Amino acid sequence: MSTGTRPSPEVAATVGPAAGALTPRLFRVAGRAQQTHDTWTLRLVPGDGGAPLVAAPGQFTMLYAFGVGEVPLSVSSGSSGATPLVHTVRAVGAVTEAICAAKPGDALGVRGPFGRGWPLDETLGRDVLLIAGGLGLAPLWPVIQWILRRRDDIGHVSVLVGSRTPADVLYRAELAHLAARPDIQAVVTVDAADPGWDGRVGVVTALLPQARFDPARTVAFSCGPEIMMRLTAQALVDAGVPAHRVHLSMERNMHCGVGHCGRCQLGPLLLCLDGPVCDYDRLGPLLRIREL
């Protein structure tokens, strides 16, 4: 006989049928750092006594705020199970506001990881271009960490970052350290400067002519607004980079994460399964169809 009471988030996430792809695991916030006025980075660790979640760079999880809902979020940490799960989240709605407000010790639900990540092995022996727009830097951050661990095996590395304003730039201290390295070209540009900004002003695609790379031996990864990625990818192909080595992270609306609901469909692709990372050889014809 029911008592009429609802189980706590901890109980709801750990009892009942064995966890599957649609069942969130209990995680707890281990750390929280504010990036900008509306964006936070959360470090999450298992709160259910289970194994750490191991996600490849470029994959995403469905992050659940108990009693509010869940959203898809790209992973911002590396693939080592010894490190916390990291998400950088912008508060733009009820669910993301609840997630960003979570304090250390608070419980969140996690499903995943889902999707196809960045083809990191393609970077070995090649020049690498990373082009990020706004929050798109977060899914590329574990790629940067991976490259730094294997720097001797990779050619020229250029990290090009675009942001709306200086106040919206993510990972500012980390980017400054990256720019100070002699073996990395890291450039940040903003759409609108403020009086204290002495860096570049303009769209991120305008930085491409200044990037150091050999088109014939280059692999490019890009994440950001879809129009920015489409223009970036086409500019790279026009410069001679093979379309199959230009990879974009498509962040259309994921809902189930397992290919059931169809909300992330792009032509013949279900991006939660076939993406979110896809190459431009496959994406280019689809992105040119306005109705998609």
Each residue's pLDDT tens digit, 166-198: 999 999 999 999 999 999 999 999 999 989 899
What's the pLDDT score for residue 253? 79
pLDDT at 19 over 80: no
Among 52-56, 100-104, 116-120, name the one with the lowest average pLDDT: 52-56
State the chain's mean pLDDT as an integer.
90
Of 234 and 11, the one with more pLDDT: 234
Same fold, 9-113 and 120-287: no
Contacts of 203 (CB under 8 A, 6+ apart): 162, 189, 191, 228
- pLDDT number for residue 21: 85
Q: If you classify domain 120-287 with CATH, what class do you get?
A: alpha beta
What was the pLDDT predicted at 49?
84
Report the pLDDT value the prediction gives residue 101, as an integer from 0 to 100.
Answer: 97
pLDDT of residue 291: 80
Predicted confidence at residue 275, as pLDDT, reads: 94
Predicted confidence (pLDDT) per residue in 138-170, tens digit: 999 999 999 999 999 999 999 999 999 999 999
Quote the pLDDT of residue 268: 94
DSSP, residue by residue, 197-215: --SEES-GGGGGGGS---G
The residue type of 124 is: L
pLDDT for the residue numbered 254: 85
- Taking the domains of the chain in order of start, what are their residue ranges? 9-113, 120-287
Q: Does pLDDT of 106 surpass 80?
A: yes
57-100 pLDDT, tens per residue?
999 999 999 999 999 999 998 666 667 999 999 999 999 999 99
- Beta bridge partners, 127, equal 218
Tell me, what's the pLDDT at 3? 37
Q: How far is Cα 138 from Cα 188, in angstroms, rounded to an integer?
A: 14
pLDDT (0 to 100) of residue 51? 87
Residue 292: predicted pLDDT: 78
Question: How do residues 34-59 score in pLDDT, each as one tens digit?
Answer: 999 999 999 999 998 888 898 999 99
What's residue 12's pLDDT? 39
pLDDT at 17 over 60: no
Confidence of residue 285 (pLDDT cuts 50, 70, 90): very high
Q: Which residue type does 63 have?
A: L
Q: Determine the pLDDT at residue 252.
A: 78
Flag whether pLDDT at 227 surpasses 70: yes
Task: Name the band, by pLDDT with cuts 50, 70 and 90, for residue 9.
Answer: very low
Decide if pLDDT at 217 tops 80. Answer: yes
What's the mean pLDDT in 271-284?
95
pTM of the predicted structure, to 2 decimals: 0.90
Helices (H), 77-164: 94-100, 137-149
Spatial separation of the C-alpha atoms in residues 69 and 254, rounded to whole Å: 13
Residues 6+ apart with CB under 8 A from 99: 42, 63, 65, 71, 87, 89, 91, 108
Q: Which CATH architecture has domain 9-113?
A: Beta Barrel (2.40)
Report the pLDDT value the prediction gives residue 26, as an integer from 0 to 100: 96
- Coil vs helix vs strand at 288: coil
